[in-house]
Amino acid sequence: MGKTFSEKILGLKAQKDVQAGEVVTVSPDYILSHDNSAAIIKEFRKLGVKDVMSPQKLVIILDHIVPAASEKYALNHKTIREFVSGQKIQNFFDIPSGICHQVFSENGFALPGKLILGADSHTTSYGAFGAFAAGIGRSEVATLWATDEIWLRVPETIKIEIKGELPSGVYAKDVILKIIGEEGADRANYKAVEFTGEAVKKFSLASRLVLANMAAEMGAKNGYFEPDEETLLWLKGRAKDKFKVISSDPDARYEAVLDYNISSLEPQVACPHTVDNVKPVSKAEGKEFHQAVIGTCTNGRFEDLEIAARILKGKKVHPKVRVLIIPASRQEYLLALKKGILEILVEAGCVILNPGCGPCLGAHQGILAPGEVALSTANRNFRGRMGSREAQIYLASPATVAASSLEGKITDPRKFL
Amino acid sequence: MEKSFISGRIWVLLDQNKRLIEDIDTDQIYHNAFLHITEVSQMGQYALGNLEGWKDFSKKASPGDVLIAGRNFGAGSSRQHAVGCFISLKIGLIIAPSFGAIYFRNAVNSGFPVLRCQELDELVAKKALETGDEIKVNFRSGEGLNVSRNTHFKAEPMSAVQYDIYEAGGLFNYGKRISKG
């Protein structure tokens, strides 16, 4: 019997033959943390260990509340900067850089066959490059800093075969929303999800990142795409280290194989207050909203901003809607700037914010008041996520958010293309 | 000290229709407005502070109490505050049919007891578990006793790694014990 990607990579790391369900002790290749490094540092200090065991493995990226929105956040950032310099941590990205998952990827840490653990639930993103990448908690990261070792349960794997071709006006975001809506927010709890099939092979890396990122919203431990020529091309000149592609065996044992054909897929919208409350746009159309967000680790890349600009070019956003644009990183920001994308968006009446998590997690830069409604390209619409618990959050693709911003209500983007 | 079982008074997280609340995400357990807090002792006051009908939980709960919740408890963010807030209140155990994957790990690695119990919805529906009941649960066997009603139930026992970390008092101490062999 063959093995899945997850069984293979964790077996390799544990230096033994393993199967789903076993518990292994492993040492990761990279350990990611962000603003929560302040809390991790506090925890690390309590362990009574003076120095980080493998400082070269740490990647610390400030993104959640950048620049600091209050004295408390400022103090957390200061604590982190002092720790970084004291521990001689080379891979530190201060506030100009952008969202951790984008910065981590574009700087070549997210590599095929690497084991990456991060103190953020959307660490699953790096599966887009064929890495085993999983979110963990604060105590785990502190312990990893101290000991460079951790236990992991080898996950069972769900294979999702995506066939067909994306219709015009339908994007990776619609595909993953459809899947989460069908399967439910806990379908993949503790499990690995492999995305495969003819359709995803045609996806850009940016689009694959959308699926791997939101695998977390099905509860997945990790997401995975088999690296192909497109992946290797993307990594050329970026890869921080040597790497080896690891793939599932053709006769690997899967917990389930799910088939999706996207050829007749409509744009999708996740309605309040769970990500699996998904409807086709035709069933959500007409819902008025107050704030639009195009950005986040899910959909803030150049390809997303370009789609929005294509729809908004030469037009004005609805006067009752505030449209916030947040490029995922400084690199994506600069590219959009040079290509004239940001100019189009500003002329249409959008607000351009600095790269970072922005209002996605409700800490600053566009908090919702009671009774307000947001339409966002983010990955979560939990009650209270963007501020008031009396607010509502709808999730959709950048195209749907841009088209809806013109109308002031949820709109099918296909009539603008 | 024998750590393999716990007794405590239960809180059953019900909605207005008297059903176990499902998909209680990390934002409802611990709202993002308080993420700047890094001291566990200060987190308790915000526990369930964003969950409809349960916002005053931190004032009602007593040390040793047990929480009974619906499917997929702790879905969402990796924020450990959502576990820390219950540690801060000295809650003894959370039982749910399933947990968010990262939440479950965070609890295990914090040495905080969490147990899965598939028959929970049924037990609650037939009122075999009601808020205020006193229960006793064995972590190693998963056997539960409702002391108030003298009825039995069964949860999944802790896995070996979960029990060892719990007994060691958290992930780091567990690691030290392993490396000393």
Q: B181 pLDDT exceeds 70?
A: no
Q: Does B88 touch chain A (CB under 8 A)?
A: no
Cβ–Cβ gap B102/A121 under 8 Å: yes
Find the helix packing angle between B101-109 and B81-88, rounded to 10°.
50
From A185's Cα to the closest Cα of chain B, the distance in A is 8
* Structure confidence at residue B179 (pLDDT): 62
ipTM over 0.90: no
Q: What 3-state class would DSSP assign to A414? A: helix
Chain A's closest residue to B164, CA to CA, is A151
Among B23, B26, B172, the residue with its CB nearest the CB of A143 is B172
Sorted by sequence, the CB contacts under 8 Å of residue B62 that are 6+ apart come out as B9
Q: Does A78 touch chain B (CB under 8 A)?
A: no
Q: Is A179 in the same domain as A323?
A: no
Chain B's closest residue to A142, CA to CA, is B172
Among B50, B98, B102, the residue with its CB nearest the CB of A135 is B102
Q: Does B25 touch chain A (CB under 8 A)?
A: yes
pLDDT tens track for A112-140: 999 999 999 999 999 999 999 999 999 99
- Report pTM: 0.95
Where among A212, A231, A260 does a domain terminate? A260
Q: Is A18 in the same domain as A164?
A: yes
Q: Is A76 in the same domain as A165?
A: yes
Where among A206, A227, A260 does a domain terminate? A260
Q: Is A105 in the same domain as A42?
A: yes
Q: B180 pLDDT exceeds 80?
A: no
Q: Is A314 in the same domain as A224?
A: no
User: Measuring CA to CA, how many Å separate B154 from each of A364, B91, B117, B120, B126?
Assistant: 45, 20, 7, 9, 15
How large is the average pLDDT for residues B26-43? Answer: 91
What is the count of structural domains for chain A? 2
Provide, as residue numbers in chain A, all residues whose Cβ is less than 8 Å from the Cβ of B76: 121, 380, 382
Taking the CB of residue A244, how many other CB atoms lie within 10 A of it?
Answer: 12
How crowded is the C-beta side of A171, counted as CA atoms within 13 Å?
Answer: 26
> How is residue A190 annotated by DSSP?
T
pLDDT tens track for A303-341: 999 999 999 999 999 999 999 999 999 999 999 999 999
How large is the average pLDDT for residues B153-171? Answer: 95
Domain that holds residue A163: 5-241+250-260
From A137's Cα to the closest Cα of chain B, the distance in A is 6
CATH of the domain at A199: 3.30.499.10
> How is residue A122 annotated by DSSP?
G
* Structure confidence at residue B32 (pLDDT): 86
Taking the CB of residue A128, how many other CB atoms lie within 10 A of it?
Answer: 31
Burial A271-309 (b: 16+ CB within 10 A, else e): bbbbbbbbbbbeebbebebbbbbbbbbbbbbbbbbebbb
What is the set of domains in chain B, with CATH numbers?
5-176 (3.20.19.10)
Q: Is A236 in the same domain as A286?
A: no
Q: Is A256 in the same domain as A278?
A: no
Q: Is A88 in the same domain as A22?
A: yes
Provide, as residue numbers in chain B, all residues whose Cβ is less than 8 Å from the Cβ of A74: none
Q: Is A322 in the same domain as A191?
A: no
Percent over 70 (pLDDT), chain B: 97
Q: Does B171 touch chain A (CB under 8 A)?
A: yes
* Dihedral angle, C-alpha A120, A393, A358, A141, nearest 10 °: -10
Provide, as residue numbers in chain B, all residues whose Cβ is less than 8 Å from the Cβ of A47: 172
Q: Does A274 touch chain B (CB under 8 A)?
A: yes
Q: What is the pLDDT along chain A (417 residues), one digit of tens a residue?
A: 899 999 999 999 999 999 999 999 999 999 999 999 999 999 999 999 999 999 999 999 999 999 999 999 999 999 999 999 999 999 999 999 999 999 999 999 999 999 999 999 999 999 999 999 999 999 999 999 999 999 999 999 999 999 999 999 999 999 999 999 999 999 999 999 999 999 999 999 999 999 999 999 999 999 999 999 999 999 999 999 999 999 999 999 999 999 999 999 999 999 999 999 999 999 999 999 999 999 999 999 999 999 999 999 999 999 999 999 999 999 999 999 999 999 999 999 999 999 999 999 999 999 999 999 999 999 999 999 999 989 999 999 999 999 999 999 999 999 998
Q: Is A125 in the same domain as A21?
A: yes
Q: Is A222 in the same domain as A130?
A: yes
Q: What 3-state class would DSSP assign to A320? A: coil
Q: Does B58 touch chain A (CB under 8 A)?
A: no
Cβ–Cβ gap B159/A138 under 8 Å: no
Where among A206, A226, A260 does a domain terminate? A260
Q: Is A237 in the same domain as A282?
A: no
